[in-house]
Chain A
Amino acid sequence: MESMVEILLVEDNPRDEEMTLRALKKRKLANHVHVVRDGAEALDFIFGQGIYEGKTNKNSLKVILLDLKLPKISGLEVLARLKQNPETLKIPIVVLTSSQEERDMVESYTLGVNSYIVKPVDFEKFTEAIGELGLYWLVINKPPL
């Protein structure tokens, strides 16, 4: 965890967090994951501020898995700030949410989200989806240099 963080998981629900991590582990992708509980912490972590003072992670992140319903600062706002900042706009962001609301979906895409995934209730499907997206963004996708 102290090494390069490649996946930032922003998730306030510890049970979902555990399931997500478990799914990533199955694909051996859990080594470079950092978990934050709310939007504010996510921004602090990325920009190296607050409790993460002195260490920015914006350059190492390969993907951010972002829940929308978050305490303090909502997922949509985090998404907006990152996509509006030239330093972070290239970091791929995948919204991972239970919300099937069209409004959320449209808003997210408008703000520049790279992928929007509705968390399936079905465990198998959930595990598969998380595994697939981890693999895709970390291994298959070629980020700009």
Chain B
Amino acid sequence: MTTETGNAVNDSVRRASGPGRLSQVFMIGILALLTLILIFAGFSYYRHSALNIQAEKVNELKAIAALKIQQIVSWRSERVTDAYMNSSGLVRSRILRFLKNPADEELRESLISYWRMLCSSGGYRSIYLVSTRCVPLLVAETGSTSMIPSPDARKIVSLAVASQTVIFGDFVQCEFYEHVHLDIAAPVQGEDGQIAAVILLNIIPDKLLFPLVQSWPTPSRTAETLLVRREGDEVVFLNELRHQAAQPLTVRHSVSASDDLPAAAAVRGKTGVFAGRDYRGVNVVADLSPIPDSPWFMVAKVDRDEIFAEARSRGKLILLLVCLSLIVSFTGVAFWYNQSQVSLIEEKFRAEQQLSLSRAIMTAVNDTVFVVDPETAKFRDVNEVCCSRMGFSHEEMVKMGVADIDPIFDMKEWPGIIARARQSDSLTVESIHQRKDGTRFPVEISCRYYCAEKGQDYLIASARDISQRKQAQSELTKYQHRLEELVAERTAELEAVNRELEAFSYSVSHDLKAPLRSIDGFARYLEEDYGKVIDDEGRRLIGIIRGSAKEMGQLITDLLAFSRMSRKELEMTTIDMNSLANDVWKQTEGLRDGRKISFEVGNLPAIRGDKTAIREVLLNLLANSIKFTRLSVKPQIELSACENDGQIEFMVKDNGVGFDMAYKDKLFCVFQRLHTSEEFEGTGIGLAIVNRVIQRHGGKVRAEGKVGGGAVFYFTLHADADFERAK
């Protein structure tokens, strides 16, 4: 078989892989959808989370900024309060007293110690009591500080003297002080209402303010608060920077040239949340607000990265989750697909096994096997045996159809064949196949219709070369014919013999009897015409001649009767035995010689038979009884019948001389006699005729009797069912 064989089964394999392709598409679809959903869900969640986190962070920033402002404001107001406290009330009176009596050491010492205490509690570097012209009068200081107020202090003092209010200075860096500092000047009113002196509070922000500003309530990597102020077109950073080692007041940026600098935006008057780039050039989110009652602005900022870091990490988490989900989904789908592939492969394997089995069977069988398309009657496949027997190649065969190899095929009959094949398990038809070389041979084709689960059904047909069977059949038929011929010949021969026999008996009856009649007749004429010249002895001899002639005549007659009864064609009719019996009895009147014989006939049923023949039977039996009762004193003859096993048994009984049962078998044979002619005349043919007739009617005869005790003759005949029923 070539590699293309088993196409029909291959089809089923291909069909089996159909769902595989479908599942592949289905699987890819599911995966794509799943991916899209997961990505979309992940992205949405990420976006939502990021916005939330951002808003949270910004709110936190704003809250912290507000807190800081409040702290700075309260810090400032505390400082102002300190300034007022030291320029009024008890401290003022003591200052005034000191001014009147500068040599009062006790007073001096008490003021200085008080201010020193204030320095440490209020975070001041030094507290001066200066004249309105800023000449130091008293100095309370911590550590090694200059005894001389800074140049900026003079301006503030003069401002304070002029305005007679507390002047809050700004951060300055001067040559006298190492640190950035800030001065608050509080004028001290004299008794006369004129400004007597000025209290100068010198503050180093490093100590209290900057830590306050720079501290952040939550842990943060990049959070920073800046205090800035505007100086012309510049924004000046007042406190130390977290991310840049620089002295306060040294970092300056152009306000007009730094659009996205949060500090510049703050000094331009912008408040609230601002996204920009800080002094490092790093993207930040800042909260801007001016600090009330001061030239300062506060910038609370966090790196944008830090704000988004959480969102990003959340995003990473989400991405991870999405990836994990995708992996799980892909794995699941892949597992499912794999399973289905496995089952597909198993199915395919089974189909292939089936295929190889089918191939094996197709190859193994010694019959030609066709796989036929039930629609078109074309071959889908054939086996090797088929190819070799038909003389075509496999390639040729699969392009052919039933019509190409069956010369008596009629496509009109095809649907009928298919319908019959579908109805019955298998269908066997006889046809003729033609080989490629044109030779034909008779085949017996067994078809079986197969319903495919889906798609095309097919018909498996196997064809068997029945040439030998056909030959055997034809030979058998020939023998049958020969036998019939022989029988016919024999029959003809028999018929010829029969005809000869008939002709023989015909001539016997005619030609043998005529001379006998002549012998008798002419002997009689001799007696009549020459009686006077013939003596008694001559007449006795003439009597013997005549007797013998008569006797021979009777023999011939009886023999012919027997022969007739044997050959006669029986005409079966319904016979009313009662009337027939009476008829025959009347017929025997001549035999009775006027004797009185009692004849009793029972109620006889009708039978089926040949009336002439049955009449002969009755006649012979009654004649017999009449003959053998000749010596009886009161002769009696009985005719009766009884039913026995579906047959009617007739009985003729007489009280005549009877017979010896030892010879009962001889009774019914031709020419067999139990009595001499002297006792009872007869030819011994009567009972032979009875026997022959009853035999030919399918019945039996028998006889019972004893010497001197009468005789009973029985014969059976078939009842006439129709007649009985009619009765």
Interface residues of A (CB under 8 A from B): 13, 15-16, 19, 22, 68-69, 97-102, 119-124, 126-127
Residue of B nearest to A122 (CB): B550
| Residues of chain B with a CB closer than 8 A to A123's CB | 517, 520-521, 523-524, 546
CB-defined A-B contacts under 8 Å, sample of 28: A15-B514, A15-B515, A15-B518, A16-B514, A16-B518, A68-B510, A69-B506, A98-B509, A98-B513, A99-B510, A100-B509, A101-B506, A101-B509, A101-B564, A102-B564, A102-B568, A120-B553, A121-B513, A121-B516, A121-B552, A121-B554, A121-B556, A122-B553, A123-B517, A123-B524, A123-B546, A124-B524, A127-B521
For the complex, is B549 an interface residue (Cβ under 8 Å from A)?
yes
Contacting pair B553 A121 (CB below 8 A): yes
Interface status of B220 (Cβ within 8 A of chain A): no
Whole-angstrom distance between the Cβ of B693 and the nearest chain A Cβ: 14
**Interface positions of B from 541 to 566, Cβ below 8 Å from A:** 546, 549-550, 552-554, 556-557, 560-561, 564
A-B contact count (CB 8 A): 71
Other 7 A-B pairs with CB < 8 A, given A13-B514, A120-B517, A121-B549: A16-B514, A16-B518, A19-B517, A98-B517, A99-B506, A121-B516, A123-B521
Q: B556 contacts which chain A residues (CB < 8 A)?
A: 121
- Looking at chain B's contact residues, is the secondary structure mostly helix, strand, loop, or mixed? helix
Q: With a CB–CB cut-off of 8 A, which chain B residues contact A97?
A: 510
Expressed in whole angstroms, the minimum distance between the Cβ of A4 and any Cβ of chain B is 29
Chain B residues with CB below 8 A from A100, complex form: 509, 557, 560-561, 564
Asked if A98 meets B514 with Cβ closer than 8 Å, knowing A22-B525, A121-B553, A122-B550, the reply is: yes
Q: How many Å lie between the Cα of A127 and that of B521 in the bound state? A: 9
Q: In the assembly, what is the distance between CA of A119 and CA of B554, in Å?
A: 13
Q: Closest approach, in angstroms, between the C-beta of B715 and any C-beta of chain A?
A: 22
Interface residue B349 (Cβ < 8 Å from any Cβ of A): no
**Which residues of chain A have C-beta atoms less than 8 A from B518's C-beta?**
13, 15-16, 19
Tell me the smallest distance from the CB of A51 to a CB of chain B, in Å: 26
| Complex-state Cα separation, A129 to B350, whole angstroms | 107
Contact between B517 and A126 (Cβ–Cβ < 8 Å)?
yes
The docked-state distance in angstroms from the alpha carbon of A69 to that of B507 is: 9
Contact B517 A16 (CB under 8 A): yes
B522 within 8 A of A: yes
B426 at the interface (CB under 8 A from A): no
Nearest residue (CB) in A for B546 is A123
B553 contacts which chain A residues (CB < 8 A)? 120-122
The CA of A13 and the CA of B568, in the complex, are separated in Å by 29
Chain B interface size range: 20 to 34
Is B467's CB within 8 Å of the partner chain A?
Answer: no
* A16 cross-chain contacts in B, Cβ below 8 A: 514, 517-518
**Once the chains are docked, how many angstroms separate the CA of A101 from the CA of B565?**
11
Which residue from chain B places its CB closest to the CB of A12 in the assembled complex?
A: B514
Distance in Å from the Cβ of A70 to the closest Cβ of chain B?
11
Interface centre among A69, A100, A127 (most CB of B within 10 A): A100
Max count, chain B CB within 10 A of own CB: residue among A19, A121, A124: A121
A13 to B561, CA, bound (A): 24
Q: Tell me whether A99 and B509 are in contact in the complex, defined as CB-CB below 8 angstroms, given that A121-B554, A122-B553 are known contacts.
A: yes
1/0 per residue, CB under 8 A from A, across B558-597: the answer is 0011001000100000000000000000000000000000
Is B81 close to A, CB under 8 A? Answer: no
Point out the residues of chain A lying under 8 angstroms from B524, CB to CB: 123-124
Query: Which A residue sits closest to B568, measured CB to CB?
Result: A102
Q: Are B513 and A119 in contact (CB under 8 A)?
A: yes
A15 to B518, CA, bound (A): 6
A15 to B520, CA, bound (A): 11
Residues of B within 8 A of A99 (CB): 506, 509-510
Inter-chain CA distance A101–B567, complex, in Å, is 11
Chain A hits for B480, CB < 8 A: none
Closest to B523 in A: A123
Complex formed: what's the CA distance from A46 to B516 in Å? 31
Interface string of B308-343 (1 = CB under 8 A from A): 000000000000000000000000000000000000
Report whether A19 and B509 are in contact in the complex, using a CB–CB cutoff of 8 Å. no
Whether A98 contacts B510 in the complex (CB less than 8 A), given A121-B550, A121-B554, comes out as yes
Residues of B with C-beta under 8 A to A68: 510
Asked if B366 lies at the interface with its beta carbon under 8 angstroms from chain A, I say no
Distance of A100 Cα from B524 Cα, bound (Å): 24
Complex CA–CA separation, A133 to B557 (angstroms) = 22
Q: Which residues of the other chain, A, contact B517 by a CB distance below 8 angstroms?
A: 15-16, 19, 98, 119-121, 123, 126
6 nearest CB pairs, A to B: A121-B553, A15-B518, A123-B520, A123-B521, A98-B513, A98-B510
Instruction: Report whether B560 and A15 are in contact in the complex, using a CB–CB cutoff of 8 Å.
Output: no
CA distance A119 to B520 in the complex (A): 13
Cβ contacts under 8 Å, A98 to chain B: 509-511, 513-514, 517
Closest chain-B Cβ to A7's Cβ sits at a distance in Å of 19
CB distance from A67 to the nearest CB of B (A): 9
- Residue of chain B at shortest CB distance from A23: B521
Are A15 and B568 interface neighbours, CB within 8 A?
A: no
Given contacts A98-B514, A99-B506, contact A19 B521 (CB under 8 A): yes
A19 vs chain B, min Cβ distance (A): 5
Chain A residues with CB below 8 A from B564, complex form: 100-102
Q: How far is A20 from B552 in the complex, measured between Cα atoms in Å? A: 21
Residues in B whose Cβ lies below 8 Å from that of A13: 514, 518
State whether the Cβ of B612 lies closer than 8 Å to any Cβ in chain A. Answer: yes
Is B521 in contact with A126, judged by CB distance below 8 angstroms? yes
A15 / chain B contacts, CB cutoff of 8 Å: 514-515, 517-518, 521-522
Residues of chain B within 8 A of A19, CB atoms compared: 517-518, 521-522
